[in-house]
């Protein structure tokens, strides 16, 4: 039976570790001079993106090509969705062309969960509304594991627009399953009710959340999902919640700085922090290709 990757909520710690171990070896290939492996030869991967993306879409495409798959992209604006076709009809059409893996980003939480039982292709959630972005959290965990050697026992502070973030939800599921201590910080207007029930500490100041952290992860302020009045201005947001060098000193001296991208420079993180020697943001991008290779390869072999 085919398997999907819809979220980290559904995966066990052992399954997550298995994906990270596979991705670690894939990363060697990404960094090598010969980026061609036969793992997905004869398979077809289609990226169906209803929202903008740079790194997720391109990394799925490159991951598929590095493993010799046939890879194609389709966006809502360039498809028959623009003529009124439904999501389900579009997915069934793509499925009927011999698609083996359907990678999907959609603004509606639960969209990939809706399609997964209706198509024979394995569905990979590349971000659904405010719900989950599982491959982002997997690439974050791979990056942490490579730099710190382990995840268990680490203090991870995630700062920013927690309310709208699918990245934070997937990271909370994944990191807590692997034994990290997660705290979230941000304006109370951007903090969802009940987030503490996911096993995280909740703070409304950056300095409390960041204190003694091993990992400091900024979250993007999601302008496209904001209702008016959740914070006064981006300048004011940076003043109270932005991560600059002074605030970073509250974390451990060897703390890593992370961000899923795209970064709003001078809003979530200062430019000196983004480009500083503790930043692993560029390495996160490389891990992203490796994780997506691992996920698609494992799905093509029956799952995790």
17 closest CA partner among 173, 157, 142, 116: 142
Nearer to ligand CP, 192 or 261 (CB): 261
143 near 202, Cβ under 8 Å? no
Nearer to ligand CP, 122 or 136 (CB): 136
In whole angstroms, the minimum distance from the beta carbon of 138 to ligand CP comes to 12
Nearer to ligand CP, 232 or 262 (CB): 262
Scan for tokens 């994780």, then name that residue.
291
In whole angstroms, the minimum distance from the beta carbon of 161 to ligand CP comes to 13
- Spatial distance between the Cα atoms of 176 and 254, rounded to a whole number of angstroms: 21
Nearer to ligand CP, 43 or 259 (CB): 259
Q: ∠ at Cα 209 (206, 215), nearest 5°? A: 105
In whole angstroms, the minimum distance from the beta carbon of 42 to ligand CP comes to 27
- At residue 38, what are phi and psi to the nearest 5 degrees? -90, 10
In whole angstroms, the minimum distance from the beta carbon of 211 to ligand CP comes to 26
140 near 150, Cβ under 8 Å? no
36 near 68, Cβ under 8 Å? yes
Nearer to ligand CP, 136 or 300 (CB): 136
DSSP state of 265: B
Beta-bridged to residue 182, according to DSSP, are: 156
User: 217 is written with which tokens?
Assistant: 């992860």
Nearer to ligand CP, 202 or 267 (CB): 267
Residue nearest to ligand CP (CB): 56
In whole angstroms, the minimum distance from the beta carbon of 243 to ligand CP comes to 17
Residues that bind ligand CP (CB under 6 A): 53-56, 127, 136, 260-262
- Spatial distance between the Cα atoms of 45 and 2, rounded to a whole number of angstroms: 14
In whole angstroms, the minimum distance from the beta carbon of 289 to ligand CP comes to 12
Ranges of H-type helices in the chain: 13-31, 55-66, 87-95, 111-115, 134-148, 166-177, 206-210, 234-241, 245-248, 271-274, 281-300
Nearer to ligand CP, 24 or 263 (CB): 263
In whole angstroms, the minimum distance from the beta carbon of 135 to ligand CP comes to 9
243 closest CA partner among 277, 209, 192, 287: 209
In whole angstroms, the minimum distance from the beta carbon of 10 to ligand CP comes to 20
Nearer to ligand CP, 53 or 286 (CB): 53
74 near 59, Cβ under 8 Å? no
């Amino acid at each position: 039976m085919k398997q999907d990757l819809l979220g980290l909520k559904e995966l066990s710690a052992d399954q997550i570790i298995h994906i990270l171990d596979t991705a670690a070896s894939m990363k060697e290939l990404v960094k090598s001079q010969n980026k061609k492996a036969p793992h997905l030869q004869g398979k077809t991967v289609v990226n169906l993106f209803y929202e903008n993306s740079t790194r997720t879409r391109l990394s799925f495409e490159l991951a598929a090509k590095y493993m010799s798959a046939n890879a194609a992209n389709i966006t809502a604006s360039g498809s028959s969705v623009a003529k009124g076709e439904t999501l389900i009809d579009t997915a069934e059409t793509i499925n009927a062309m011999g698609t083996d893996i359907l990678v999907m980003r959609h603004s509606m939480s639960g969209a990939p969960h809706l399609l997964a039982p209706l198509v024979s292709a394995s569905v990979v959630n590349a971000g659904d509304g405010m719900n989950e972005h599982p491959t982002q959290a997997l690439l974050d965990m791979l990056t942490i594991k490579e730099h710190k050697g382990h995840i268990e026992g680490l203090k991870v502070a995630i700062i920013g627009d927690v309310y709208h973030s699918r990245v934070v939800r997937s990271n909370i599921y994944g990191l807590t399953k692997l034994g990290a201590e997660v705290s979230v910080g941000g304006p109370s207007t951007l903090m969802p009710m009940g987030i503490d029930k996911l096993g995280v500490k909740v703070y409304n100041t950056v300095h409390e959340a960041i204190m003694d952290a091993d990992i400091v992860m900024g979250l993007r302020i999601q302008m496209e999902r904001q209702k008016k009045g959740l914070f006064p201005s981006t300048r004011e947001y940076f003043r109270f919640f932005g991560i600059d060098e002074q605030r970073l000193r509250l974390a451990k001296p060897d703390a890593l700085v992370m961000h899923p991208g795209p970064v709003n420079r001078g809003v979530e993180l200062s430019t000196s922090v983004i480009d500083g020697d503790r930043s692993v943001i560029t390495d996160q991008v490389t891990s992203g290709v490796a994780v997506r290779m691992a996920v698609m390869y494992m799905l093509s072999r029956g799952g995790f």
